[in-house]
Structure 1
Amino acid sequence: MTSKKDMRRQDLIVPYVEPAKEKSDGDMTSTMASTLPMAAIFTRNKMIGWTAVVFALQSWLAETPEQKRTSTTPGYFSVGMAFMSLMVAYLPLFMPPPQNRAGAGSEAEAPSAVPLV
């Protein structure tokens, strides 16, 4: 039988080195924190607005010093935008839209036809 001696050569062993992260890796939470408020404002959807607030707070609290230094917008700006999207979503509760009178058309409609005499 062969001997149980370790046959590996010590001079050929290469230790594992974790690869460095690329700077182009995008942060998905900050992307969501900046795009969800816009979606909530356009759709006036309250659920998207609350989701935007949660993502914005998480992104702001998880900001690293590197992100603070290289980011174009600070974390509190995305939180402000998220709360503004909630304001827009809940605005009809405090300022209801004007009600049209019965029979009166809206300004966007074409004028009614004039009868020929």
Structure 2
Amino acid sequence: MASTLPMAAIFTRNKMIGWTAVVFALQSWLAESPEQKRTASAPAYFSVGMAFMSVVVSYMPLLLPPTPMQATMGGSGTEAPAAVPPR
């Protein structure tokens, strides 16, 4: 769960899931035994880095706000189609 939680936070951009991923990753890194350290395929601090990256991605709209839409585009594309004129 601790390895997939940062990815879920990145895809949903949910801040609460991101911070939970950071806490779980830190706990698993601090509780890592020498046996786990020896047999692991990647160091535990990689999961901590991934969890922090999920928090950064969730706060990305605050750091880099999205660009405003241009007036020539004609809207967001989610509006209802134009009415058909009567014959």
Instruction: Give the TM-score range, shorter chain.
Output: 0.7 to 0.9
Q: Residue 58 of structure 1: which of 14, 27, 32 is its match?
A: 27
Q: Gaps (5+ residues) in structure 1?
A: 1-31, 110-117
Classify 1:106/1:80 alpha carbon distance in 2 versus 1 (closer, same or farther; 3 Å): farther
Higher RCO by CA contacts (8 Å cutoff, separation 6 or greater)? 2
Q: Kindly tell me the number of residue pairs found equivalent between the two proteins.
A: 80
* Cα shift readout 1:27-82 (whole Å, capped 9, x = no counterpart): xxxxx221100000000000000000000000000000000000111110000000
Larger Rg: 1
Aligned amino acid, residue 96 of structure 1: P
Identify the structure with the greater helix proportion.
Answer: 2
For normalisation by structure 1, the TM-score amounts to 0.61
Give every structure 1 segment of 4 or more consecutive aligned residues whose post-TM-superposition deviation is greater than 4 Å.
Answer: 106-109
- Give the Cα–Cα distance (whole angstroms) in 1 for the partners of residues 50 and 7 of structure 2: 8
Pairwise CA RMSD of aligned residues?
Answer: 2.3
Shift in Å at residue 108 of structure 1? 7.4
- Give the Cα–Cα distance (whole angstroms) in 2 for the partners of residues 108 and 73 of structure 1: 44
